Amino acid sequence: MTGLAPEKTAEPSVQPPNRRAPRRATGPGFRPSPAGPGVDAPSTLTRVLSGIRHTFSSPKYGPVLVTLLLFIAVFVAGGLRYNGFFSGQVLLNLFVDNAYLIVLAVGMTFVIITGGIDLSVGAVVAMSTMIAASLLQGGWPPGVVIPLILVLTSLLGLLVGLMIHVFEVQPFIATLAAMFLARGLCYVISKDSISIVDPFFVSFAQTRIPLGGGLSITPSVIIALVVVLAAVWVLQYTRFGRTVYALGGSEQSGMLMGLPTARTKVLVYVISGLCSGIAGVLFTFYTLSGYSLTAVGTELDAIAAVVIGGTLLTGGYGFVLGSVLGVLVLGIIQTIITFEGTLSSWWTKIFIGGLLLVFIILQKVLTAKRR
Amino acid sequence: MNATIGKLAANRLFWPVVMLLALFAINLVAFPGFFAITIKDGHLFGSLIDILRNGAPMLIIAIGMTLVIATRGIDLSVGAICAIAGAVACSILLGSSDPSNPATVAVAIAVAVGISLLLGVWNGFLVAVLGIQPIIATLILMTAGRGVAMLITEGQILTVNSPPFKAIGSGFWVGVPIAVVIAAVVFAVAALITRRTALGLMIESVGINPEASRQAGVRARGLLFAVYTFCAFCAAIAGIILTANQTAADANNTGLFIELDAILAVVIGGTSLMGGRYSLTGTLVGALVIQTLVTTVYTVGIPPIATMVFKAAVVTVVCLLQSPATTAAFASWRRTAALRTAGKEMAA
């Protein structure tokens, strides 16, 4: 997808200076902004403080920072409460256990920034696990199976995107149809769980990459992080990425400006499909089986992570890294509930619902102030 | 002739009805006794009755959903509300000394409906007062609601033994399944209240342009509260029917995905998710299409697990047929046909 995005041309100079100001004010190398010289400058401290206030109350950065603080607070609270919580491995396990969800949330971020939604991702993950398991069982080499899955899921995304763009079907309904289709195809392939014994998949699932100090991660984490980095690059530094934001801001304006809105709108669903495929492969590594009922409701987790990560559901604002943070917050809540032991698993759902509420109200307050 | 077909095709109910008739035709070929309705022990039996009875909970929810969607909203939490209502009713029945007493059942249902109304008010509060996008506002309750239902049932499947409660799900009244009677009453009440008063018009106006309707003196806030509360009410009734049918409250599976089926029923029935014009009759047809499809898959002998693929196909076809692009194509075809007829008349 990145191939379609042409090289950027002198874009930093196009950005209005007031957009840059808040980011620079909180950056590590804080320097007085050149925008407002002259009139007796307030002390550096006040300016830093006002910069911080400005950043926290901006719809763009505020929710992400709150999520970051929440994550740190929960991590510290967990560390104070439970023995053995304060370890690097607990932190790394958040990535290990949620690698597939990170990839899903990345794809979902693209869609939600354009103001759309993708309900099909959970079902597509399940479909990917089923395709992988059944083809591997049939003796197909992994080198063919994995690319095939990615192509198929991207194709499904393309169909959804075309349905949304050409036939003006609501994203909600179009992706719902894709969800039914993917889930139904799972059952058509097999209604029973198929386990995977392919040596490549097994070795991939069991490999741990040592990081020193007794810490380790899985190769899936690396793949997830590569996806995240690629997504950050595409969204922040390519023309395509800017068009994605423009679509969420106002599709009409984007079109009038001559942006390729049609192509972009279809492509975000292809990206989401591709990410679902990658997530499906990672999930297969994680569970080493294909099962048609896996990942039910994962689309809600992905949407929740994106929202908690500060992406505005009306589109236009959001960061991939915020969504990663959102996944980590969901993961750490689960970890806390595991550590607590006496809390039942359904508390996870209630906590996630409560968190969603808090973040949505926060977004509402922040955006209302700006308008 | 062409012009007549064109005019019919322009009607919103055209494609859903065609789809329903096509499904009926498939059934008639595959299963000649499809339309037969027999009377056994004074009760009606037959495939059509089964479709109505099994589709009743979804239809009830779809009625509430239609009004919500007409205000340009959506309610994803209905499935969770179903589970909560079922869990509340069953836990009250289990806690009582005499679950077979109709009065106990009435209390259980009243409490379950009451709690669901509160949940509906909560949804309405998020949407109308805080101004949160409906899809997200109700996503909160969709996620947390199942957790709450699990909390009520303590993670167990609560099985109750109460004949009057069971009757709601599988009993008959004058030969007709009680669930169907309830659905008919809800449909009639919703249709009467919104179509015989100005309420429906106001709901549509809020859906088309909230700001303009506010300036015209429509109290959007109160209306939004009303539609979300009504939708939660419908969900509670449906949840009680579902639970009564199984005589057990299963917090995880009661009403699972029913919100999606209900939304599909509304969309197939020609009500746009963009709000505004709605059609309760369309929703009825949409719900029948979905339920007939499920039944057809069973009767034709396709493995029931493949139902979802067919559902996806039907949704896609109906949505594409109703899309602006298709409508425009049909309109131009109609114009060409009319011109050709006019041309022939001129020549003659």
The CATH number of the domain where A154 resides is what? Answer: 1.10.3470
Q: How far apart are CA A284 and CA A297, in angstroms?
A: 17
Mean pLDDT of all residues belonging to chain B: 87
Name the pLDDT band for B33 (thresholds 50, 70, 90): confident
CB nearest to B316's CB, from A177, A304, A349:
A177
Contact check, Cβ <8 Å, B273/A181: no
What would the two tokens of residue B259 be?
Answer: 């919100």
* Residue A215 phi, psi (nearest 5): -95, 150
CB nearest to B147's CB, from A188, A346, A360:
A346
Higher pLDDT, A197 or A148: A148
Name the pLDDT band for B237 (thresholds 50, 70, 90): very high
**The total number of residues written for chain B in this structure:** 348
**Burial zone of A201 (CB within 10 Å; 0-12 exposed, 13-18 middle, 19+ buried):** buried
Tell me the Cα Rg of chain A: 22
Give A362 to chain B, closest Cα distance, Å. Answer: 11
On chain A, the residues whose CB falls within 8 A of the CB of B152 are: none
Give pLDDT tens digits for B47-90.
888 899 999 999 999 999 999 999 989 999 999 999 999 999 99
Query: Does A105 have pLDDT greater than 90?
Result: yes
Instruction: Return the minimum-mean-pLDDT range out of A22-36, A216-230, A338-352.
Output: A22-36
Per-residue pLDDT, A25: 42
Give pLDDT tens digits for A36-54.
444 555 678 888 878 777 7
On chain B, the residues whose CB falls within 8 A of the CB of A178 are: 312
On chain B, the residues whose CB falls within 8 A of the CB of A168 are: 323-325
Give pLDDT tens digits for A88-97.
888 888 998 8
Q: Give the 3-state secondary structure of chain A.
A: CHHHCCCCCCCCCCCCHHHHHHHHHHCCCCCCCCCCCCCCCCCHHHHHHHHHHHHHCCCCCHHHHHHHHHHHHHHHHHHHHCCCCCCHHHHHHHHHHHHHHHHHHHHHHHHHHCCCCCCCHHHHHHHHHHHHHHHHHCCCCHHHHHHHHHHHHHHHHHHHHHHHHHCCCCHHHHHHHHHHHHHHHHHHHCCCCEECCCHHHHHHHHCCEEEECCEEECHHHHHHHHHHHHHHHHHHHCHHHHHHHHHHHCHHHHHHCCCCHHHHHHHHHHHHHHHHHHHHHHHHHHHCEECCCCCCCHHHHHHHHHHHCCCCCCCCCCCHHHHHHHHHHHHHHHHHHHHHCCCCCHHHHHHHHHHHHHHHHHHHHHHHHHC
Instruction: Tell me the residue type at B230.
Output: F
Q: Which residue of B has its CA nearest to A350?
A: B144
Per-residue pLDDT, B9: 62
Contact check, Cβ <8 Å, B273/A173: yes
* Residue B40 phi, psi (nearest 5): -120, 130
Q: Is residue A54 part of a domain?
A: no
What would the two tokens of residue B111 be?
Answer: 């409490």
On chain A, the residues whose CB falls within 8 A of the CB of B262 are: none
CB nearest to B150's CB, from A346, A353, A360:
A346
Query: Does B305 have pLDDT greater than 70?
Result: no
Q: Is residue A28 part of a domain?
A: no
Per-residue pLDDT, B10: 64
Tell me the Cα Rg of chain B: 22
Instruction: Return the minimum-mean-pLDDT range out of A41-55, A200-214, A329-343, B159-173.
Output: A41-55
Name the pLDDT band for A14 (thresholds 50, 70, 90): very low
Q: How far apart are CA A173 and CA A117, in angstroms?
A: 10
Q: Is residue A356 part of a domain?
A: yes
**Count of domains for chain A:** 1
Q: Are B253 and B243 in contact (CB under 8 A)?
A: no
Per-residue pLDDT, A213: 76
What is the pTM (predicted TM-score) of this model? 0.81
Q: Is residue A6 part of a domain?
A: no
Domain extent at residue A193: 73-370
Q: Is residue A298 part of a domain?
A: yes
Per-residue pLDDT, B58: 94
Give pLDDT tens digits for A175-220.
988 988 998 888 888 888 888 888 888 888 888 888 877 788 888 9
